Structure 1
Amino acid sequence: MPRSTPWSAARREAYANDQDSPYTLIAVTAASNRSKADKDPAEWLPSDPSYHCAYAGTWVATKLRWDLAADEAERQALLGLAEECPATLVSYEPVP
């Protein structure tokens, strides 16, 4: 599905309820959830630096899984994290 094609209601619902990925829901504190809000890795990273690589890996896996676009700031932030995290593997299954 090309990125420029608007998602159907069914695809939006599937994305919102994606239970087939281990990265769908990760338990965090309410404060952390509020801090992150809808920010991408260019604007927010977990307060614990030891989790940055895992966070970047799950972010990229979700982007790839759902064929989601990234703006230039997000892309640059992810490239920077990739340089800092050479051992991080990104694993995903594309959604049909």
Structure 2
Amino acid sequence: MTSRSNRPKADQDPAEWLPPSADALCRYGADWTAAKLRWGLAVDELERDRLYDIAAGCGGTEVEFTPAP
């Protein structure tokens, strides 16, 4: 992701912004989910629903994370 493509995202979650490239969507959803799990961060209902929608279209994509110390 370039800084130009990252600017519109700002601090928006997946309910508000998704990467413009369909090829990046599964990776983005997995990385976002991993960060939330790693740090024990809350997920609101809209964000959760969007992550489920992304995951439904991503077949065998796995989310891997290590819990933060």
With the length of structure 1 as denominator, give the TM-score of the two structures.
Answer: 0.69
**1:15-47 alpha-carbon deviations (Å, 9 max, x no partner):** xxxxxxxxxxxxx32221211100111111111
Cα distance in 1 between the residues matched to 2:47 and 2:66 = 22
Cα distance in 1 between the residues matched to 2:25 and 2:17 = 10
1:1-96 maps to which residues of 2 (within 5 A)?
28-96=1-69
Rg comparison, structure with higher value: 1
Identity, in percent, stands at: 51
Gaps of 5+ in 1: 1-27
Q: Which runs of 4+ in 1 moved over 4 A?
A: none
Number of matched pairs: 69
The AA in structure 1 aligned to 2:24 is Y
With the length of structure 2 as denominator, give the TM-score of the two structures.
Answer: 0.94
1:48: how far off?
A: 0.5
SS in 2 for 1:51: helix
Give the CA RMSD over aligned residues.
Answer: 0.8
